[in-house]
């Protein structure tokens, strides 16, 4: 049976503590749809928290004040995503706008119905992080996400929406996954605690048999996923049909106009190693790469000169 997203979310929170909304990186249409859904007045009071992948716990105290509606500007907002391991991934404006829009929602609600946004990535120290440290944090992230949800949501008797990339939100490990995903960890410890919703996307798949309901492909409805697929039990519970989704890797040009931030990016990537520099360059357009390479060359030259005497 097909449901309007708001209707299904209300129904799910009557029987579950957690609902996972799968996000597709580099596909802003999905994040826009998720944000619009969570703004809906129909969901007011149905959950307490939103746990997100795209923010560093280092800034949780600041974000709590900001999201709750305190009288303050958003001058510290960029640091929330800039201090993460995957800061380039979160550079599209859709993620910063999510925080701004949730703050606006809270300002229009009674205090007892205001939601909290929980930053799931552990605080890291970019001043000392190197390639080996990055790899360790990367390998430990699923465990860290689960521990965050345990402490910040479940331990407080609260209900939450989880917004993470698709591969973090599956009931079972994918065949090629080197780790157990977040949702599988939660279900193993707390059976029946969560239901998972993925947007349909032909390229990324939905880990549910990928069968397509042609009559509802473009109408924004959510439908039950296949109970089983050729590879085994269902990976998710519901499919969200948002139309034809375009996934395109494109860093925002504004990132290359902020020279202070660009120098910070170059410094971090060099500390992590050549592989990270090469991966970052592949995310750039030719004009962006030229700006980046010029900054990189100047930074390397300054390092070779050493501190001024």
What pLDDT, on the 0 to 100 scale, is given for residue 1?
80
What pLDDT, on the 0 to 100 scale, is given for residue 176?
73
Contact 49, 114 (CB under 8 A): no
Q: Per CATH, the architecture of 5-240 is what? A: 3-Layer(aba) Sandwich (3.40)
DSSP strand pairing (160-165 vs 49-56): parallel
What pLDDT, on the 0 to 100 scale, is given for residue 150?
98
Q: What is the pLDDT along the chain (309 residues), one digit of tens a residue?
A: 889 999 999 999 999 999 999 999 999 999 999 999 999 999 999 999 999 999 999 999 999 999 999 999 999 999 999 999 999 999 999 999 999 999 999 999 999 999 999 999 999 999 999 999 999 999 999 999 999 999 999 999 999 999 999 999 999 887 777 789 999 999 999 999 999 999 987 766 555 444 555 555 667 889 888 765 555 678 899 999 888 888 899 999 999 999 999 999 999 999 999 999 999 999 999 999 999 999 999 988 776 565 544
User: Residue 49 to residues 21, 68, 106, 282: CA-CA distances in angstroms?
Assistant: 13, 11, 12, 35
Q: Where are the domains of the chain?
A: 5-240, 253-302
* 3-state secondary structure string across the chain: CCECHHHHHHHHHHHCCEEEEEECCCCHHHHHHHHHHHHCHHHCCCCCEEEEEEEEHHHHHHHHHHHHCCCCCCCCHHHHHHCCCCCCCCCCHHHHHHHHHHHHHHHCCCHHHCCEEEEEECCCCCCCCCHHHHHHHHHHHHHHHHHHHHHHCHHHCCCEEEEEEHHHCCCCCCCCCCCCCHHHHHHHHCCCCEEEEEECCCCCCCCCCCCCCHHHCCCCCEEECCCEECCEECCCCEEECCCCCCCCCCCCHHHHCCHHHHHHHHHHHHHHCHHHHHHHHHCCCHHHHHHHHHHHHHHHHHHHHCCCC
Query: What's the pTM?
Result: 0.94
Contact 188, 78 (CB under 8 A): no
What pLDDT, on the 0 to 100 scale, is given for residue 228?
59
């Amino acid at each position: 049976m097909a449901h309007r997203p708001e209707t299904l979310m209300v129904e799910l929170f009557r029987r579950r503590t957690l609902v996972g909304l799968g996000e597709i990186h580099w596909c802003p249409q999905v994040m826009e749809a998720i944000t619009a859904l969570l703004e809906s007045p129909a969901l007011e009071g149905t959950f307490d928290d939103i746990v997100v992948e795209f923010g560093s716990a280092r800034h949780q105290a600041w974000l709590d004040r900001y999201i709750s509606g305190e009288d303050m500007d958003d001058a510290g907002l960029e640091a929330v995503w800039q201090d993460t391991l995957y800061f380039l991934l979160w550079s599209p404006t859709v993620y910063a706008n999510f925080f701004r829009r949730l703050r606006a929602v809270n300002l229009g609600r009674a205090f007892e119905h205001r939601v909290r946004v929980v930053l799931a990535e552990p605080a890291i120290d970019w001043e000392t992080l190197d390639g080996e440290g990055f790899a360790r944090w990367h390998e430990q992230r699923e465990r860290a996400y689960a521990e965050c949800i345990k402490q910040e949501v479940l331990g407080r008797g609260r209900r939450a929406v989880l917004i993470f990339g698709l591969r973090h939100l599956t009931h079972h490990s994918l065949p090629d996954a080197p780790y157990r995903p977040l949702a599988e960890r939660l279900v193993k410890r707390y059976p029946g605690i969560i239901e998972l919703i993925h947007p349909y996307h032909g390229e990324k798949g939905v880990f549910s048999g990928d069968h397509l309901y042609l009559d509802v492909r473009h109408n924004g409805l959510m439908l039950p996923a296949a109970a089983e697929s050729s590879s085994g039990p269902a990976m998710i519970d519901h499919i969200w049909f948002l139309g034809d989704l375009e996934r395109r890797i494109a860093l925002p040009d504004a990132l290359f106009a902020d020279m202070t931030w660009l120098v910070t990016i170059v410094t971090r990537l060099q500390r992590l190693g050549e592989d990270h520099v090469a991966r970052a360059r592949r995310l750039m357009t030719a004009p962006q790469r030229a700006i980046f390479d010029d900054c990189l060359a100047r930074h390397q030259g300054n390092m070779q000169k050493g501190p001024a005497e």
